[in-house]
């Protein structure tokens, strides 16, 4: 499964009121493993950031003046995200900004380009009800090193969120997890798995291992005075 952990920084809090994306950071997971095939852009928002937003991300208006506008990177972003499952913390915020940028260019909204969206904030609230569930709080709770995060940054935050997500969903690492939950009222019953659909390798013992095995059996047989089950069956 291809998943993209995504984060944005913006000029303010409201896409509907004209705030724009100034940074987008994406981290790729393939089968829950980091691939390092990341995507990162600073974007010229064609307007200044609000003072409160500047305190959060620290990206100056002057720094963004010569950066590409969203229209110049839109196709590359969409190609990168296409058919992936997005993982976003507080997804409605980032998706609203992306949708507004796409709307300006006459493109359909994000849901037309990606497979689905996972909101890790919703996940965190279900896992840790009543607790702080911001990214920093989750990093502290799950043992993710966020010591380099003095200001918000889209790529850094996406990288941290990738680690947080892997830790939050660690139980999914189990083999055959797709078998489903077979819990019953009286306890938990093991799922019945059809192993015929798996190709399991056969690793045969080499000569040295076979000799060591025979020596161990001989010692056991001697200790049991020739009454071990395998020797009895072998003789029969």
Q: Are residues 214 and 103 in the same domain?
A: no
pLDDT tens digits along 175-205: 333 444 444 444 445 556 665 666 667 788 8
pLDDT tens digits along 75-128: 999 999 999 999 999 999 999 999 999 999 999 999 999 999 999 999 999 999
User: In degrees rounded to 5, what are phi and psi of residue 7?
Assistant: -145, 150
Identify the three-state secondary structure at position 119: strand
Instruction: Give the contacts of 13 (CB within 8 A, at least 6 positions apart).
Output: 19, 50, 53, 93
Instruction: Please say whether the beta carbons of 29 and 3 come within 8 A.
Output: yes
pLDDT tens digits along 125-164: 999 999 999 999 999 999 999 887 767 889 999 999 999 9
Instruction: Report if residue 13 sits inside a domain.
Output: yes
Task: Write down the pLDDT at residue 197.
Answer: 61
Instruction: Report if residue 161 sits inside a domain.
Output: yes
Q: Are residues 164 and 120 in the same domain?
A: yes
DSSP 4-43: EEEEEEESSS-TTTT--EEEEEEEEEETTEE----EEEE-
Cα angle at 102 between 110 and 26, to 5 degrees?
Answer: 60
Q: Are residues 144 and 213 in the same domain?
A: no
Distance, first Cα to last Cα, the chain: 53
Instruction: Please say whether the beta carbons of 53 and 12 come within 8 A.
Output: yes
Instruction: Please say whether the beta carbons of 77 and 113 come within 8 A.
Output: no
pLDDT tens digits along 32-79: 999 999 999 999 999 999 999 989 889 999 999 999 999 999 999 999
Task: Write down the pLDDT at residue 206.
Answer: 86
Q: Are residues 131 and 72 in the same domain?
A: yes
DSSP 128-166: STTS--SHHHHHHHHT---TT-SS--HHHHHHHHHHHHH
Q: Is 29 left (phi over 0), alpha (psi -120 to 50) or beta?
A: beta
Instruction: Please say whether the beta carbons of 95 and 121 come within 8 A.
Output: no
Residue 152 known to be catalytic: yes
Instruction: Please say whether the beta carbons of 167 and 145 come within 8 A.
Output: no
Catalytic position from the list 57, 89, 152, 213: 152
Least confident of 12-16, 18-22, 185-189: 185-189
Burial class (CB in 10 A: 0-12, 13-18, 19+), 6: buried
Q: Are residues 35 and 149 in the same domain?
A: yes
Q: Are residues 56 and 105 in the same domain?
A: yes
Q: Measure the CA–CA gap between 40 and 30, rounded to whole angstroms.
A: 18
CATH code at position 105: 3.30.420.10
Task: Write down the pLDDT at residue 177.
Answer: 39
Q: Are residues 220 and 109 in the same domain?
A: no
Instruction: Report if residue 197 sits inside a domain.
Output: no
Q: Are residues 68 and 163 in the same domain?
A: yes
Q: Are residues 230 and 146 in the same domain?
A: no
Instruction: Report if residue 178 sits inside a domain.
Output: no
Number of domains in the chain: 2
Single pTM value for the model? 0.71
Q: Are residues 160 and 220 in the same domain?
A: no
H or E element in which residue 55 lies: helix 51-57
Instruction: Report if residue 7 sits inside a domain.
Output: yes
Domain that holds residue 218: 205-235
Q: Are residues 59 and 133 in the same domain?
A: yes
Instruction: Report if residue 98 sits inside a domain.
Output: yes
Burial class (CB in 10 A: 0-12, 13-18, 19+), 200: exposed
Q: Are residues 150 and 213 in the same domain?
A: no
């Amino acid at each position: 499964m291809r998943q993209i952990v995504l984060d944005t920084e913006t000029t303010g809090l409201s896409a509907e009121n004209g705030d724009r994306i100034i940074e987008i950071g994406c981290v790729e997971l393939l089968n829950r493993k980091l691939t390092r095939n990341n995507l990162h852009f600073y974007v010229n928002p064609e307007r200044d950031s609000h003072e409160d937003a500047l305190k959060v991300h620290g990206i100056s208006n002057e720094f963004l003046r010569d950066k590409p506008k969203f229209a110049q990177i839109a196709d590359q972003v969409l190609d990168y995200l296409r058919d992936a499952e997005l993982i976003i913390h507080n997804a409605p915020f980032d998706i609203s900004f992306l949708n507004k940028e796409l709307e300006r260019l006459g493109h359909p909204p994000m849901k037309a380009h990606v497979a689905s969206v996972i909101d890790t904030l919703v996940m965190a609230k279900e896992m840790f009800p009543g607790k702080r569930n911001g990214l920093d709080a989750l990093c502290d709770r799950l043992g993710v090193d966020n010591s380099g995060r003095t200001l918000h940054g889209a790529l850094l935050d996406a990288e941290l969120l990738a680690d947080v997500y892997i830790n939050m969903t660690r139980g999914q690492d189990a083999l055959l997890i797709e078998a489903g939950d077979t819990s019953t009222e009286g306890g938990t019953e093991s799922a019945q798995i059809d192993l015929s659909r798996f190709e399991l390798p056969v690793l045969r013992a080499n000569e040295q291992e076979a000799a060591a095995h025979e020596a161990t059996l001989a010692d056991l047989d001697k200790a049991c005075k020739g009454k071990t089950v395998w020797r009895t069956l072998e003789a029969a």
